[in-house]
Amino acid sequence: MSRGSGKGLSLKDKLDGNELDLSLCDLNEVPVRELAALPKATVLDLSCNNLISLPSDFCSLMHLVKLDLSKNRLQQLPLDFGRLVNLQHLDLLNNRLVTLPVSFAQLKNLKWLDLKDNPLDPVLAKVAGDCLDEKQCKQAAVKVLQHMKAIQSEQDRQRQRKLQAEREMEKKREAEQRAKEAQERELRKREKAEEKERRRREYDAQKAAKQEMEKKTKKETVHTRKPASSSRPPQPPRHKPSWSRSVLRVLLFVLFCILCTLAACKLTELQHQPLCVSVNTLYEDVVAALQNHKALQNMLQHNSQQ
């Protein structure tokens, strides 16, 4: 395989104790898988190659203690570069780095750092210094770690403020949502009460209309019956005939018959008939008795006056 990819190289042949020298191999990529198979290689030299970037899985090489990436074309380091927590010596001379990842602050064991000949951010360049000797490179490691920790702390604070603002915003949205839901519940409750009141009014109105219709129908029925009853002439009260009235009628009828018989026997040729003779005799006797009775009354009246 080509040397450009780094694959096909016999890394074990280049391993000298714990040092693995892959410098000047014209590498475009880092053979991470092969390097991971050599945990003894705690010192790795990748200087003087054509590396533009490091793969994300490069940060899994946590066994590295010393790493030389000088004189490549690295434009940035992986975001989780801080996973290389055992790293003590790091050479990034003559690359194209402008900034370092915030996770760089996690390299708590870093004791030596060289960032010369990189187009660093002015603030970072001032913090890193020149690294012209061992002392300056050690100071650069300490100062850069402090600087990156400060950046990390500020980012953490910003993140916390952002999270707090998001929580407050979420609480505000929840409160607004609860208020909105309460308002909607109150509105539904009021609408329900209004609907119930409207239905009750409609029911009362229908009931009143029904009663009014019944009254009107009843009046029309009464008015319809009155002309029929008024067209009839008033009937006189009927009295049941009493027993005394019947007897009186019978007596009057008998008296009438007697008078008719008496008149027939007195005035007609029937007076010589035996029945008429008896009737005339009876009539004369009654008349004589009445006269005697009248004479007796007169005498009694005269005596009473005396």
Q: Is residue 237 part of a domain?
A: no
Structural domain ending residue among the three candidates 154, 179, 201 = 154
Furthest-apart CA atoms within the chain: distance in Å: 202
pLDDT(154) > 60: yes
Stretch 78-84: mean pLDDT, rounded? Answer: 95
Structural domain ending residue among the three candidates 154, 178, 196 = 154
Q: Is residue 143 part of a domain?
A: yes
For 22, the 3-state DSSP assignment is coil
Q: What is d(CA 144, CA 142) in angstroms, rounded to the nearest whole number?
A: 6
More confident site: 178 or 287 = 178
Q: Is residue 63 part of a domain?
A: yes
For 90, the 3-state DSSP assignment is strand
Q: What is the mean pLDDT of the chain?
A: 86
Tell whether pTM > 0.75.
Answer: no
CA distances from 104 to 159, 176, 267, 297 (A): 18, 42, 175, 170
User: Do 104 and 84 form a contact (C-beta atoms < 8 A)?
Assistant: no
Domain count, the chain: 2
Q: Is residue 75 part of a domain?
A: yes
Whichever domain contains 88, its CATH number is 3.80.10.10
CA distances from 187 to 178, 193, 273 (A): 14, 10, 123
Q: Tell me, what amino acid is at 97?
A: L
Q: What is d(CA 297, CA 73) in angstroms, rounded to the nearest whole number?
A: 182
Q: What range does the domain containing 26 cover?
A: 12-154
Q: Which residue has the tokens 């839901």?
A: 181
Q: Is residue 76 part of a domain?
A: yes
Structural domain ending residue among the three candidates 135, 154, 173 = 154
What percentage of the chain carries pLDDT values higher than 70? 88
Q: Is residue 247 part of a domain?
A: no
- Residues 277, 149, single domain; the answer is no
Q: Is residue 103 part of a domain?
A: yes
Residue 247: both structure tokens together? 């007897």
pLDDT(1) > 50: no
pLDDT(193) > 70: yes
User: Do 48 and 24 form a contact (C-beta atoms < 8 A)?
Assistant: yes
CA 82, chain centre distance (Å): 51
- Residues 147, 20, single domain; the answer is yes
Whose CA is closest to 51, among 92, 81, 10, 80? Answer: 92
Per-residue pLDDT tens digits for 225-273: 655 444 555 565 555 557 777 888 888 888 887 777 777 777 777 677 7
- Residues 27, 148, single domain; the answer is yes
Supply the pLDDT for residue 5. Answer: 52
Give the pLDDT band of residue 2 (cuts 50, 70, 90): very low
CA distances from 20 to 30, 68, 103 (A): 13, 11, 26
Q: Is residue 31 part of a domain?
A: yes
- Residues 148, 279, single domain; the answer is no
Whose CA is closest to 277, among 254, 259, 261? Answer: 261
Per-residue pLDDT tens digits for 114-137: 999 999 999 999 999 988 999 999
Q: What is d(CA 112, CA 89) in angstroms, rounded to the nearest whole number?
A: 5
